[in-house]
Structure 1
């Protein structure tokens, strides 16, 4: 996983606000912005940055609840952009919520990126408000349902 940070105006520029965020075997990155007022209070965040608080919330609820967590927070903040990518070495999860996400599938792996990094015709757009799960068994896309929170 690689993450490049372009700090949101008003957010701190500090190492604890920079992805990837970690929790045990998981790495997590957030591309987007969310109003901190809609995020639950958590003592696990090492920064007041929206991405750090969001990551702490996701880790606290568990990655199996990622779809519901993103749908709940995205519904609470209509302007939120919530692309999350989380990986543990055998499983890759990604969400798209009001932000672009592209996928390139190859026999030897899958690339997920905010946008294609080359002109390969095999890039596909992941539909908005979806969860992508990549495992050794393949790729699954699931609609993020705002009525199903964690």
Structure 2
């Protein structure tokens, strides 16, 4: 159910990141190699990217298959960033394929993607109401409560990996599901391996990727063990068991406009 990717490092064009590789996210929209659930990701796609002078990341989302949008493939050659989150979607049965379901979702400087499916989405929606002002956490998709809870925890602590790990733990208390989550605040990227594949690649030039599957055949890719949460910054990559990663005391990096947010 879906493929996603995040990049952090020296500026790269979106075309380099999403189209150029032999098994790029673009190719994964119709021919994923590691996808365990579903065979094609034709229910929409999206990309979000950070610019130095923008208060929040820019974003492009469509309800159509990624392979059907030749105009974005052209525009992507002129769009560059040091940090990108992108996804192609295979919609969970019972949910529509309109543009509002295409990820990444966005709240302030946070970009978020969910690769997976929730068995009891009503249980999550009832127990994890959306935080104030986060309209996309009210969307008609099983990822919405996961997004809203991640935003709530991230706003409190600024701890991106901790927010993802705590969200997975809470979601598992409420429903069976596959909870591969991916997020960025523009300075780091973090993801969980919780029911589906996740890989990381650190390039010699300083760039780092977290992705559902490798986009090339490089031996440098490392698979993240299931049950892990991984954080990647420009300095390094750390993966620990989800059950060991807990929220810490508030640190810089959360949404500065939401310090007073409560549940």
Alignment TM-score > 0.5, same fold: yes
Q: Which runs of 5+ in 1 are unaligned?
A: none
Q: Distance in 1 between matches of 2:128 and 2:180?
A: 21
- The one-character-per-residue Cα deviations of 1:28-70 (angstroms, maximum 9, x if unpaired) are 0110111313312414423120012221121122244221221
TM-score calculated relative to the size of structure 2: 0.52
Output the aligned Cα RMSD: 2.2
Q: Which residue in 2 is equivalent to 1:38?
A: 123
Range moving further from structure 2, 119-128 or 62-71: 62-71
Aligned twin of 2:106 = 22
1:102-121 alignment to 2 at 5 Å?
A: 102-107=199-204, 108-121=206-219
Give the C-alpha shift of residue 9 in structure 1: 0.9
Per the alignment, residue 84 of structure 1 pairs with: 181
Contact 2:208 2:234 in 1 (8 A): no
In the superposition, the TM-score normalised over structure 1's length comes to 0.88
Cα distance in structure 2, aligned partners of 1:98 and 1:75:
15
Instruction: Work out which of the two has the higher radius of gyration on C-alpha atoms and give 1 or 2.
Output: 2
Stretches of structure 2 that go unaligned for 5 or more consecutive residues are 1-84, 155-159, 249-263
> d(CA) in 2 for partners of 1:14 and 1:53?
18
Give the length in aligned residue pairs: 149
**Structure number with higher helix proportion:** 2
